[in-house]
């Protein structure tokens, strides 16, 4: 089976980069995949994509060696299995509150006897290889998002869930959980300390921790703080920032 590059990087002690797809289009996915991210996530929770958009976006990503990731909208086994069958090599599950919910997410990502995933990798077998079913349990990554008060309270139990590969920090909802307004790259000391607490709990349990960032300076700090993967930027934010920068430069030069 095709090896999961992110798992390989983690075994070597490297921090991986993750890009984000909020726009539901194959060409956008292809352009982002060619920029050099280690992995790229199709966002079904807050992005504009629906399940019907996932296949062409994963096909676009797989023209490169970028690892295809899908964040599902909910901890729904049917959606998780469908995304995997279409070729996702990593699943991010939002709003995981306790170990039971984490175990449910893991089970949907693993074939029996380890989990409950149904056999039918209609595209994944072509992308992953003829021996996909025999090796998918070892190569597919499953991440649980820690971003609620209950999730923080049950942090150690979630991290100890057998088969869970990583926890993923959702900083905006985590801000809500901490009584703050959501913001990108939150510098508040309590927010920073909570993120570090999550990272430490993950590492203590022998799993990885991922930080969702909005820009390179904050992401660089997260790398230095020991996070194992950083989400750096999205297609939509890059498009808006690039257009705005060009307009502002034009206005400045023609004022």
* H-run or E-run covering 154: none
The reply to whether omega before 113 is within 30° of 0 (cis) is yes
Q: What is the pLDDT of residues 70-99, one digit of tens each?
A: 999 999 999 999 999 999 999 999 999 999
Distance CA 96, CA 102 (A): 6
Distance CA 204, CA 229 (A): 17
**Angle subtended at Cα 117 by Cα 111 and Cα 118, rounded to the nearest 5 degrees:** 105
SS3 167: strand
The phi and psi torsions of 34 (rounded to 5 degrees) equal -90, 5
Give me the pLDDT at residue 244, please: 98
Q: What is the pLDDT of residues 189-231, one digit of tens each?
A: 999 999 999 999 999 999 999 999 999 999 999 999 999 999 9
Asked if 6 contacts 67 with a C-beta cutoff of 8 angstroms, the reply is yes
What region, left, alpha or beta, does residue 87 occupy, with left being phi > 0 and alpha being psi -120 to 50 degrees? left
The pTM of the whole model exceeds 0.85: yes
Among 25, 46, 191, 203, the one annotated catalytic? 46
Taking residue 239's Cβ as centre, other Cβ atoms within 10 Å add up to 14
Q: What is the pLDDT of residues 94-153, one digit of tens each?
A: 999 999 999 999 999 999 999 999 999 999 999 999 999 999 999 999 999 999 999 999
Percent of the chain with pLDDT over 90: 100
Tokens of 190: 């309590």
Superfamily of domain 5-254: Phosphoenolpyruvate-binding domains (3.20.20.60)
Cβ neighbourhood burial of 163 (10 Å; 0-12, 13-18, 19+): middle
Distance CA 104, CA 160 (A): 14
Catalytic (active site) residue 191: no
Non-local (6+) Cβ contacts of 207 within 8 A are: 159, 164, 165, 166, 167
Give me the pLDDT at residue 83, please: 98
Give me the pLDDT at residue 243, please: 98
SS3 249: helix
Could you tell me the residue ranges of all domains in the chain? Answer: 5-254
Non-local (6+) Cβ contacts of 76 within 8 A are: none
């Amino acid at each position: 089976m095709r090896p999961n590059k992110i798992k390989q990087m983690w075994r070597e002690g490297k921090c991986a980069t993750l890009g984000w797809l909020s726009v539901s289009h194959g060409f956008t996915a292809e352009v982002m995949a060619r920029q050099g991210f280690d992995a790229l996530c199709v966002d079904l929770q807050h992005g504009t994509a629906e399940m019907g958009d996932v296949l062409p976006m994963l096909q676009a990503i797989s023209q490169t060696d970028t690892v295809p990731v899908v964040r599902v909208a909910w901890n729904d086994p049917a959606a998780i299995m469908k995304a995997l069958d279409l070729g996702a090599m990593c699943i991010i599950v939002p709003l995981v509150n306790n170990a039971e919910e984490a175990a449910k997410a893991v089970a949907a990502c693993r074939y029996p006897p380890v989990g409950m995933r149904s056999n039918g990798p209609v595209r994944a077998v072509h992308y992953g290889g003829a021996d996909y079913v025999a090796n998918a349990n070892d190569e597919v990554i499953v991440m649980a998002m820690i971003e609620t008060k209950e999730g923080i309270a049950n942090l150690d139990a979630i991290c100890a869930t057998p088969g869970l590969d990583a926890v993923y920090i959702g900083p905006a909802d985590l801000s809500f959980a901490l009584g703050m307004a959501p913001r990108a790259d939150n510098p508040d000391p309590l927010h920073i300390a909570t993120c570090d607490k999550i990272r430490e709990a993950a590492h203590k349990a022998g799993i990885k921790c991922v930080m969702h960032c909005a820009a390179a300076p904050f992401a660089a700090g997260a790398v230095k703080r020991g996070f194992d993967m950083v989400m750096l930027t999205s297609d939509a934010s890059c498009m808006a920032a690039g257009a705005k920068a060009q307009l502002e430069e034009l206005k400045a030069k023609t004022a």
